[in-house]
Amino acid sequence: MDLLNTLVDKGLRRVPPTRGEALAVLATSDDDLLDVVAAAGRVRRHWFGRRVKLNYLVNLKSGLCPEDCSYCSQRLGSKAGILKYTWLKPDQASEAAAAGLAGGAKRVCLVASGRGPTDKDVDRVSETIRTIKEQNEDVEVCACLGLLSDGQAERLRAAGADAYNHNLNTSEATYGDITTTHTYADRVDTVQKAHAAGLSACSGLIAGMGETDEDLVDVVFSLRELDPDSVPVNFLIPFEGTPLAKEWNLTPQRCLRILAMVRFVCPDAEVRIAGGREVHLRSMQPLALHLANSIFLGDYLTSEGQAGKADLEMIADAGFEVEGTDQVTLPEHRAGGCRTGEGGGCASASAASATSAASPASEAGEPRTDLVAVRRRGAGTDLAPNA
């Protein structure tokens, strides 16, 4: 396929595809799917070899959120029967983190529901970061606390945070359809604050909310312009009790095409398969490792994930290896500063864009409500975590 040869060549040189090329990846047929995976896999292996980075989520504060994000089980007015608790103490968070690290995780992601942290919340999380780092050598810590105010990113960095996550989630044009209590520009501002403070920026998307192919391409090109080091790709978990509970728009094949498109647009970024992989990729999860170089181990914020042991077996069986703490995740040219290079990095990707035709209708996935399970173990409970 000429398209795939072109995309591989561009990916190896960090040259962005055109919008038309990115849309064409999403429009490929199931007959061509393995060719798409093989092509994107070449780009993935060029920059990241066969390593898989493991990340572990610790939900510091669950539920009780004043925001109205339609996809979220912790949202204002959610009827989902999730765990609800206020802030974990630093030792509790460190104990939860240690379970994930013992399972092979290299990065701990500290997440708290809410619009954004108060200064007191930043003090609390800073103490948690210091406790985790004191008790666990070589761990990376990423904070995800919502919208940041001036100076808060710098304080988190001073406390030892390595990264900050704040996802764009969907295109700017459709953002108002899923959230009304803050704006797309608010999210962009927080990612930029993290960058400016010297934190490794982590920002991604959620697929499966009823968006078009154009929306998916728009948000991924916007992410490329923001230049995060990590791009988490979430697949909507349609929780009962949320406005998007009936949105079952994904198939395993579509998920793989989305991951391939993200890899071609962000060839040298850490692409992470995040929430929903078990629900939507199902038995195709091993193929996704040829596209993404990072996954979450075990459970998510409010839902159960695949058993940690099964994650490790899947990685080994697929011929990949868990990335060690002594290995550097990102390519050398992405280490700090403006990540410029031949056709890539901080330069706007939109200059290479081309106008595309309307996207085909996305395939509808068969609802698998049996695979959506609320987390009842780990942080905020007396039960051992899944790691």
Q: What is the pLDDT of residues 166-183, one digit of tens each?
A: 999 999 999 999 999 999
Q: Is 19 assigned a catalytic role?
A: no
Least confident of 288-292, 298-302, 356-360: 356-360
- Over residues 36-45, mean pLDDT: 98
Pick the catalytic residue from 75, 109, 263, 334: 109
The verdict on residue 29 lying in a domain is yes
Whole-number mean pLDDT of the chain? 90
- At 248, the amino acid letter reads W
Has residue 106 got a pLDDT over 50?
Answer: yes
pLDDT of 341 strictly over 80: no
Q: What mean pLDDT do residues 197-220 have?
A: 97
Residue 314 scores a pLDDT above 90? yes
Q: Annotated catalytic residue: which of 19, 75, 142, 375? A: 142
Total of domains in the chain = 1
CATH number at residue 244: 3.20.20.70
pLDDT at 342 over 50: no
In a domain, 260, yes or no: yes
Confirm whether 379 is domain-assigned.
Answer: no
pLDDT (0 to 100) of residue 223: 98
Phi, psi (degrees; rounded to nearest 5) at 359: -80, 155
Catalytic member of 202, 255, 263, 266: 202
Q: Sorting pLDDT into bands at 50, 70 and 90, what band is 353?
A: very low
Q: Is 255 a catalytic residue?
A: no
Three-state secondary-structure class, residue 6: helix
- To the query of whether residue 144 is one of the catalytic residues in this protein, the response is no
Report the predicted TM-score, pTM, of the whole model to 2 decimal places.
0.90
Q: Of residues 51, 65, 144, 257, which has the active-site annotation?
A: 65
Residue 81 lies in a domain: yes
**Active-site choice (124, 254, 272, 375):** 272
Residue 358 has pLDDT above 50, yes or no: no
Q: Is residue 268 part of a domain?
A: yes
At 368 the pLDDT is 83
Residue 366 lies in a domain: no
Give the pLDDT confidence score for residue 336 in this predicted structure: 54
Given a contact cutoff of 8 angstroms between Cβ atoms, the answer to whether 328 and 49 are in contact is: no
> Given a cut of 50, is residue 348 above it in pLDDT?
no
Domain range enclosing 279: 16-328
Query: Helix crossing, 184-196 with 152-159: angle to 10°?
Result: 40
Three-state DSSP at 60 gives: strand
Residue 241, pLDDT > 90, answer: no
DSSP per residue, 216-266? HHHHHHHHHHH--SEEEEEE----TTSTTTT-----HHHHHHHHHHHHHHS
- pLDDT-above-90 percentage for the chain: 74
Q: At CA 379, angle to CA 90 and CA 123, rounded to 5?
A: 30
Active site residue 109: yes
H or E stretch at 345: none
Kindly tell me the sign of the dihedral angle through the C-alpha atoms of 272, 248, 83, 374: negative
Of the residues 14, 19, 44, 69, only one is catalytic, namely 69
376: in domain: no
Out of 14, 19, 44, 72, which one is annotated catalytic?
72
51, part of any domain: yes
Task: Answer with the residue of higher pLDDT: 384 or 45.
Answer: 45
